[in-house]
């Protein structure tokens, strides 16, 4: 026998099914609150239909809820609304004039911005934090506040190694400046809910929701190396919060309203520059360390070892090289005359093939007793805990033997 449903009930069931099919994992975080209201609506409509055939009770939909949510039963929607109201006044849009940009084909006497990005208020002195690549080619900079007020700004300092820059707005009353607190990125954990604020595609004051996907990512920096290529920057936070062109320089925040990262880049496939759920933010502890130096002196001096290295080697390579452990940083090349060279670190043998990792390199597994599992571990320790001129102890494996090598760190 063919089962029929009342028209109104059938529509609600269809909408509920479509809603469940479209739910993202983050949507499920708050959908648990609507479970009972869905059931009540369905049962209520079924009882109100006149002449309808008897139907089975609506099955209860059970969604597992985090114990943390159950304990406090927070209203995530209300929390996000409150968060936006508190922090959005501290987020700004940055318009860049001059240099190379998409508006360079307009007449020179008709000035339009050639680039745009985001930033946030750092202090009551008018300092604005953003990305280096946002302002790199600019000649003039306009800052637009959340309420629409505009002000010219000047560059205070830039750092290509971290892709950070500091501007300072001119003639802005202190009441207009709402600094955002900078949190401790060492406390950030994968799975933590975060929001990104900024100006994607010029849409000022946009907020997106996501989670911390991972920590400790490494990407190329904006700083060229003397021996060719670019230096690496580490300790990046990966997030699936939507980040798009124009978000660069804006804050990634936790639900307490603390900046835990500065949105920097997105991973894209193909010619389309848009979010695919893989974004990266500069860890806030780099901000806490580098920005004060940019304000004080206009630059940040990095510690320097002078090596090119590989990490996360495939098992086949580990076995071929006869490495005693499956973690660490394998030294491929030591820059001649560098601190690593003077300390006696050894790189791998030379090869003509870019697809072969040759034997002979040292394997770094610790620095000052701190374990080094990946290249990011080494970079992060150097940048956050070592200054040029310091001497560090590298624990390495060489020819299967474990030993310590002392290196006096240089600068770059």
Residues catalogued as catalytic: 133, 163, 248
Q: What is the DSSP string of 339-355?
A: HHHHHT---PPP-S-TT
370-371/150-159 β-pairing: unpaired
Please give the sequence-ordered ranges of beta strands (E in DSSP) within 10-123, or none if there are none. 91-97, 115-121
Cα–Cα distance, 34 to 290 (Å, whole number): 45
Helix axes 7-22, 35-48, angle to 10 degrees: 160
| Count of Cβ atoms closer than 10 Å to residue 383 Cβ | 22
Contacts of 264 (CB under 8 A, 6+ apart): 131, 163, 219, 236, 248, 280, 281, 282
Helix (H, G, I), strand (E, B) or coil at 196: strand
- Among residues 376, 367, 97, which one has the least CA distance to residue 233? 376
Q: Which residues of 172-197 are buried (b: 16+ CB within 10 A; e: fewer)?
A: beeebbbbbebbebeebeeebbbbbb
Inter-CA distances, 348 with 60, 83, 383, 409, Å:
62, 51, 25, 21
Tell me the C-alpha distance between 409 and 389, whole Å: 5
User: DSSP 3-state assignment of 3?
Assistant: coil
Burial class (CB in 10 A: 0-12, 13-18, 19+), 165: buried
Q: Are 261 and 238 in contact (CB under 8 A)?
A: no
DSSP string, 319-376: HHHT-SSS-SEEEEEE-TTSHHHHHT---PPP-S-TT---S---EEEEETTEE--SHH
Q: What is the helix (H) or strand (E) element at residue 81, kind and residue range?
A: helix 76-87
DSSP one-letter string for 245-308: TT-TTPEEEETTS-EEEEEEEE---SS--S--S-EEEEEHHHHHHHHHHHHHHS--PPEE--EE
């Amino acid at each position: 026998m063919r089962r029929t449903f009342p028209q109104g009930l059938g529509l609600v069931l269809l909408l509920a099914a479509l809603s469940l099919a479209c739910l993202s994992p983050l949507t499920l975080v708050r959908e648990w609150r609507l479970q009972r209201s869905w059931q009540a609506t369905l049962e209520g409509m079924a009882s109100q239909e006149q002449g309808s055939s008897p139907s089975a009770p609506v099955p209860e939909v059970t969604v597992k809820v985090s114990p943390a949510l159950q304990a406090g039963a927070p209203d995530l929607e209300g929390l996000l609304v409150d968060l936006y109201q508190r922090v959005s006044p501290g987020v700004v849009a940055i318009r860049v004039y001059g240099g190379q940009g998409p508006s360079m084909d307009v007449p020179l006497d008709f000035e339009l911005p050639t680039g745009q990005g985001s930033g946030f208020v750092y202090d009551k002195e008018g300092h604005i934090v953003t990305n280096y690549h946002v302002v790199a080619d600019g000649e003039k900079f306009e800052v637009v506040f959340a309420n629409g007020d505009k002000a010219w700004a000047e560059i205070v300092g830039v750092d290509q190694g971290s892709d950070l820059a500091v501007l300072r707005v001119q003639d802005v009353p202190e009441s207009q400046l709402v600094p955002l607190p900078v949190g401790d990125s060492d406390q950030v954990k994968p799975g933590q809910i975060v929001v990104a604020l900024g100006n994607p595609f010029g849409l000022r004051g946009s907020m997106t929701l996501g989670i911390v996907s991972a920590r400790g990512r490494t990407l190329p920096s904006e700083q060229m190396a003397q021996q060719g290529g670019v230096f690496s920057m580490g300790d990046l936070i990966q997030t699936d919060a939507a980040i798009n062109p124009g978000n660069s320089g804006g804050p990634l925040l936790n639900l307490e309203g603390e900046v835990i990262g500065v949105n920097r880049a997105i991973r894209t496939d193909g010619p389309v520059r848009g979010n695919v759920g893989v974004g990266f933010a500069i860890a806030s502890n780099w901000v806490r360390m580098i920005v004060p130096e940019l304000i004080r002196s206009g630059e940040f001096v990095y510690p320097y070892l002078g090596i090119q290295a590989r990490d996360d080697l495939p098992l086949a390579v580990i076995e071929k090289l006869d490495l005693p452990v499956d973690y660490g940083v394998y030294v491929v090349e030591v820059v001649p005359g560098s601190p690593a060279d003077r300390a006696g670190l050894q790189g791998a043998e030379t090869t003509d093939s870019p697809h072969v990792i040759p034997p002979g390199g040292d394997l770094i597994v610790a620095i000052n007793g701190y374990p080094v599992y990946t290249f990011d571990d080494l970079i992060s320790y150097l940048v956050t805990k070592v200054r040029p001129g310091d001497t560090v102890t590298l624990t390495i494996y060489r020819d299967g033997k474990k030993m310590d090598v002392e290196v006096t760190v240089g600068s770059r």
